[in-house]
Amino acid sequence: MSNEEDTNTMEPQMKRWKGSVCDADSWVAYPVLSDEQSQDVELTEAFAAPIVNKKETSRLVRELNSLYPLNSLPHIKRVRACKAKGSLHPLEVLICLISDAPDMKEVSIDSLLPSDGVKPDGLGELFVVKVPARPPLTRPQFELASQHWPTSFHEDKLVTVALRGERFTPTQKATMHLYMMSALTAAKAGKELGMEAVGAVVVDPKTERIVAVGHDCRGDHPLHHAVMVCIDLVARSQGGGCFCFDRYSACRFTPAASNPSQNVPDSDAGSQPYICTGYDLYVTREPCVMCAMALVHSRIGRVFYGTASLDGALGTKYKIHSQKDLNHRFEVYKGVLSKACEDLSSSDDHNKKDSVQ
């Protein structure tokens, strides 16, 4: 350990950490994506046929598009190159989805293609193939889908980078590391008082300032989970709030007056931001449903948590943050300081039972 590191101070030393090798290299933040983004590739069956005469391709595609348009599957390409070695034909074409085929006992090219619609010249034997039923939303889905049939993909590069665990720069990670350290410190302070070992920090990413820090206080009240405490402290920083946590020194907030860019209630109610508009939350373990809904209501910007919870509502049991029928959605990342957060959770006796975070 160097002399510099001997300095034992509670104040984050951003300059020293930024750009240097620090513990932030020991964890990776991965995105918690929606079910649609993370589910396996769903397949549907279709009839296809080899194109034995390549010269007929554009006519066949035109006539098939007109007879059997693939309106429900706009991501699917009509023709694929046949890569199999020794294949006698270079291309294969989708005739139609099985669900779109006319009802008949024996299906053949001739029965699927009325003579006045598509001339079957140039087509080989009919076969059944599975094609992706939905457009791929992520690169992993795209790669899996493409193994079945060529598929178009509108890539969200940020999601691709996030899935590789490379969404944040080393400098950003060093800052995130410090915020989660503050949450861990608060969690330990709460635990000392007999509360569950959970800590939460709300920060303003624009100014990189901590707005509020809270820990679990359910010894006082069953609903005072760390996230609820933290949101109430943010409200207090803006002149609101319902509760008083002044007797807990680790629960604190930065008054709005000392942070000019903080969400200050406006005299014009229409322009007043929600409590957590534009803010990020760092919490040692995945929030429960109640806390996740409170984060929706307060319009949190992003949530970072260290470790998953059995009843977690941001990835484990539910994905409240990606719920289409809720009026606010936000990004969630897990894994920040995962080891320290896991150790904290597993050291928490309450958590070993079916306790809700």
Query: Shortest gap between Cβ of 32 and Zn ion (angstroms)?
Result: 16
Run of H or E residues at 16: helix 14-17
Of the candidates 291, 300, 332, 340, which one interacts with Zn ion according to CB under 5 A? Answer: 291
What is d(CA 236, CA 240) in angstroms, rounded to the nearest whole number? 5
Options 144-152, 242-250, 281-289, 343-351: segment touching Zn ion (CB under 5 A): 281-289
Query: Shortest gap between Cβ of 210 and Zn ion (angstroms)?
Result: 20
What is d(CA 281, CA 179) in angstroms, rounded to the nearest whole number? 9
Label the pairing between strands 209-215 and 252-253. antiparallel
Please tell me whether residue 183 adopts helix, strand or coil conformation: helix
Q: For residue 288, give Cα distances in angstroms to 284, 299, 310, 325.
A: 12, 16, 9, 19
Per CB under 5 A, which of residues 217..236 are in contact with Zn ion? Answer: 225
Query: Shortest gap between Cβ of 356 and Zn ion (angstroms)?
Result: 6
Query: Shortest gap between Cβ of 251 and Zn ion (angstroms)?
Result: 15
What is d(CA 235, CA 294) in angstroms, rounded to the nearest whole number? 12
- For CA atoms 263, 269, 271, 275, the dihedral sign is positive
Q: Which is nearer to Zn ion, 76 or 291 (CB)?
A: 291
Query: Shortest gap between Cβ of 255 and Zn ion (angstroms)?
Result: 26
Query: Judged by CB under 5 A, does residue 288 bind Zn ion?
Result: yes
Run of H or E residues at 162: helix 157-163
Q: Which is nearer to Zn ion, 137 or 320 (CB)?
A: 320
Q: Which is nearer to Zn ion, 298 or 357 (CB)?
A: 357
Query: Shortest gap between Cβ of 312 and Zn ion (angstroms)?
Result: 9
User: What does the chain come to in residues?
Assistant: 357
Q: Which is nearer to Zn ion, 191 or 225 (CB)?
A: 225
Run of H or E residues at 7: none
What is d(CA 347, CA 340) in angstroms, rounded to the nearest whole number? 11
Options 168-176, 234-242, 269-277, 287-295: segment touching Zn ion (CB under 5 A): 287-295
Q: Which is nearer to Zn ion, 189 or 198 (CB)?
A: 198
DSSP string, 33-93: --HHHHSPPPEEEEEEEEESSGGGHHHHHHHHHHHS--TT-TTB-SEEE---TT-S-SEEE
Q: Which is nearer to Zn ion, 259 or 355 (CB)?
A: 355
Cβ atoms of residues 188 and 273 within 8 Å? no
Binding mask 166-205 for Zn ion (x = CB under 5 A): ----------------------------------------
Q: Which is nearer to Zn ion, 48 or 313 (CB)?
A: 313
Query: Shortest gap between Cβ of 287 and Zn ion (angstroms)?
Result: 5
- For CA atoms 141, 143, 148, 150, the dihedral sign is positive
Cβ atoms of residues 238 and 277 within 8 Å? no
Binding mask 327-356 for Zn ion (x = CB under 5 A): ------------------------------
Per CB under 5 A, which of residues 93..152 are in contact with Zn ion? Answer: none
How buried is residue 4: exposed, middle or buried, by Cβ count under 10 Å (0-12/13-18/19+)? exposed
Q: Which is nearer to Zn ion, 177 or 225 (CB)?
A: 225
Options 135-143, 240-248, 256-264, 286-294: segment touching Zn ion (CB under 5 A): 286-294
Query: Shortest gap between Cβ of 314 and Zn ion (angstroms)?
Result: 11
Query: Judged by CB under 5 A, does residue 80 bind Zn ion?
Result: no
Options 158-166, 212-220, 261-269, 290-298: segment touching Zn ion (CB under 5 A): 290-298
Query: Shortest gap between Cβ of 218 and Zn ion (angstroms)?
Result: 9
Instruction: Summarize as ranges the residues that interact with Zn ion (CB under 5 A).
Output: 225, 288, 290-291, 357
